[in-house]
Amino acid sequence: MTDVDLTHQTASAPGGNAEPYSVSELAFALKRTLESAYGFVRLRGELSKVTRHASGHIYLTIKDDKAAIDGVIWKGRSLQCRPEQGLEVIVTGKVTTYPASSKYQLVIDSMEPAGVGALLAQLERLKAKLAAEGLFDPARKRPLPAMPATIGVITSPTGAVIRDILHRIRERWPCRVVVWPVVVQGEAAAAQVAGAIAGFNALSAGGSIPRPDVLIVARGGGSVEDLWPFNDEGLARAAAASAIPLISAVGHETDTTLIDFVSDRRAPTPTAAAEMATPVLAELRAGLADSQRRLARVGGRMLEDRRNRLAAAARGLPRPADILALASQRFDIVAGRLSAAIERNTQVHAQALTGTAARFTLSLLERPRRLKSERLAELSRRFALAARRVPERATQNARLPMLGHRLSTALARRLATARDRLIQLDKLRLSLDPNRPLALGFALVRRPDGSIVREGSALKPGEAVNLKFADVERAAVIGGTSTAPPPRGKSATNPPGPGQGDLF
């Protein structure tokens, strides 16, 4: 192909119009111009979007804080360091274009490390801080529910990620999916994702919006700058504080962000996250059917084993017919002897009855009859004797008035004795009456609480008492001092000592 002059030329065609270039002519002309103007350059920057193709070529981006240039390392190049995302390097290569897509790129011939990039260094410091707080500890990561009823997805509602997740969940497990729409790129992405995590955790179990059993934070692949919101410290802490198990599915398999370290599970892709969150219904049904078949087989083998053991045990036992044979034989023998024994027993009892009947004669009945006749004659004799004594008893009846007089005298004497005893008991009653001494001039001394004063020494001077006479009760106060009673043997008429006080 010939070179094309890029300067403005006058057209030879009629009308004075410039001759048009073909697309390929212009693209390759620009390629040659760029290569001839720069040739080999030495470039310093941070690696991003490092992709290793199956052919062995490596495609990447070299960037700083203001611009980015695509680069390619052809298969077989020997490099001083392995290209890693976030690594700051110095590369040498040729600037060229890729005519198929009108992009310029750097074909890298050599690469040497220049230090860790600023973003990677910042990320490493934040990772060390959170790791020291224990947010990366595997012990705090919770297991995922085996059969979730509701799955919460935090992602962009317009991207291909949500469609892939919904399609995969629909194929595997029939459950409810609640999508919380957020932006997944830019300055507002981290705050929106953290708010979505907190919002899902704030849902109540019985509310109108069901509380998810597991959360998925998903985003497609991209550059370090595109995925940088998922390295935010606030988002990482919100994910670590989530009470609902969380799966992070940010970027592709080679992409790693801070949320991957604090989440309960990390999925290499959003589709893989859907697979982690859900079981396969068909596999569960197949497993259940297999378990049922195994249970049936095990139950059949167990029954067969029990049947064999029973049969083996039965062989060691005698047959019921053999056990009953001896008893049946004994029964037949005894039954045969029974009729002969009954006949012999009847004969024995008949002989005994005959012997007993021979002893019963008429003379045995004659003796009792004779005894009773003699007794009847004796009674008749006594009756006649009693009849002759009736006049004698009439004479005895004349003595009845005398007996009545004696009975009256005895009764009167007994009544007099009872009356004397009653009089004595009444005298005793009067002597025991507590009010009888009051009628004789005595007084009953009581304290205000009603207790009876039986001894004068128990009273203290100035103590109030109640004096009960036969007709009235008076209050009094004890005064003076008490004196001892006169000694035994002295006259009771001696005058009282000087210490004697007046009772009233």
- Residue-wise pLDDT for 68-116, tens only, equals 889 999 988 877 777 878 788 889 998 888 777 778 888 998 888 775 4
Edge-to-edge strand list for the sheet holding 464-468: 444-446, 464-468, 473-477
Same domain, 207 and 104: no
Cα–Cα distance for residue pair 145/214, rounded to 1 Å: 7
Does 4 score more than 50 pLDDT?
no
What six digits make up the tokens of 343?
A: 């006949």
CB 485, CB 457: distance < 8 Å: no
Edge-to-edge strand list for the sheet holding 246-250: 176-181, 150-155, 214-219, 246-250, 265-266
What are the φ/ψ torsions at residue 198 (nearest 5 degrees)?
A: -65, -35
pLDDT band at 400 (very low <50, low <70, confident <90, very high): low
Any idea of the CA torsion for 201, 247, 238, 157, to the nearest 10 degrees? -80
CB 62, CB 47: distance < 8 Å: yes
Closest C-alpha to 265, from 254, 277, 256: 277
Cα–Cα distance for residue pair 273/289, rounded to 1 Å: 27
Same domain, 262 and 167: yes
CB 73, CB 47: distance < 8 Å: no
Any idea of the CA torsion for 423, 426, 430, 432, to the nearest 10 degrees? 120
Q: Which pLDDT does position 499 carry in this prediction?
A: 46
Q: Bigger pLDDT: 240 or 339?
A: 240
Question: Looking at 244, 261, 279, which one is the last position of a domain?
Answer: 279
CA distances (Å), origin 276, targets 143, 446, 448: 11, 103, 98
pLDDT band at 404 (very low <50, low <70, confident <90, very high): low
450 inside domain = yes
CB 46, CB 88: distance < 8 Å: yes
Same domain, 210 and 109: no
Q: Which pLDDT does position 11 carry in this prediction?
A: 42
Which of helix, strand or coil describes residue 30? helix
CA distances (Å), origin 242, targets 110, 263, 411: 46, 9, 118
Quick one: DSSP state of residue 148? Answer: -
Identity of residue 340: A
What are the φ/ψ torsions at residue 172 (nearest 5 degrees)?
A: -95, -45
Where do runs of H (alpha helix) occur along 15-154? 23-38, 118-132
Q: Which domain holds residue 473?
A: 434-504
What six digits make up the tokens of 240?
A: 């670590």
Same domain, 133 and 267: yes
CA distances (Å), origin 373, targets 191, 300, 381, 383: 141, 100, 13, 16
Same domain, 214 and 268: yes
143 inside domain = no
Where do runs of H (alpha helix) occur along 63-176? 118-132, 160-172
What are the φ/ψ torsions at residue 59 (nearest 5 degrees)?
A: -110, 135
**pLDDT-above-70 percentage for the chain:** 85
Same domain, 133 and 105: no
462 inside domain = yes
The partner residues of 108 in beta bridges, in order of sequence, read 93
- Helix, strand, coil abundance in the chain, percent, nearest 5: 45, 20, 35
pLDDT digits (tens, 9 = 90+) for 24-51: 888 788 888 877 777 788 888 888 888 8
Cβ neighbours of 465 (radius 10 Å): 16
Same domain, 104 and 133: no
Does 475 score more than 80 pLDDT?
yes
Pairing verdict, β 214-219 and 150-155: parallel
Cα–Cα distance for residue pair 462/444, rounded to 1 Å: 18
105 inside domain = yes
194 inside domain = yes
Domain of 79: which CATH number?
2.40.50.140
Place of tokens 């004196």: 483
Same domain, 491 and 467: yes
pLDDT band at 148 (very low <50, low <70, confident <90, very high): very high
pLDDT band at 213 (very low <50, low <70, confident <90, very high): very high
Provide the b/e sequence for 155-171 (b: ≥16 CB within 10 Å). bbeeeebbebbeebbee
98 inside domain = yes
Question: Looking at 245, 261, 279, which one is the last position of a domain?
Answer: 279
Question: Looking at 246, 279, 312, which one is the last position of a domain?
Answer: 279
Q: What is the mean pLDDT of the chain?
A: 81
Average pLDDT (254-272) is 90
Does 494 score more than 70 pLDDT?
no
Same domain, 78 and 170: no
The partner residues of 52 in beta bridges, in order of sequence, read 58
Q: What's the structural domain count of the chain?
A: 3
Quick one: DSSP state of residue 268? Answer: S
109 inside domain = yes
379 inside domain = no
CB 239, CB 137: distance < 8 Å: no
Same domain, 160 and 47: no
Pairing verdict, β 150-155 and 176-181: parallel
Domain of 172: which CATH number?
3.40.50.261
Same domain, 88 and 155: no
Same domain, 112 and 176: no
DSSP assignments along 422-472, one per residue: HHHHHHHHHHT-TTHHHHTT--EEE-TTS-B---GGG--TT-EEEEE-SS-
Cβ neighbours of 208 (radius 10 Å): 6
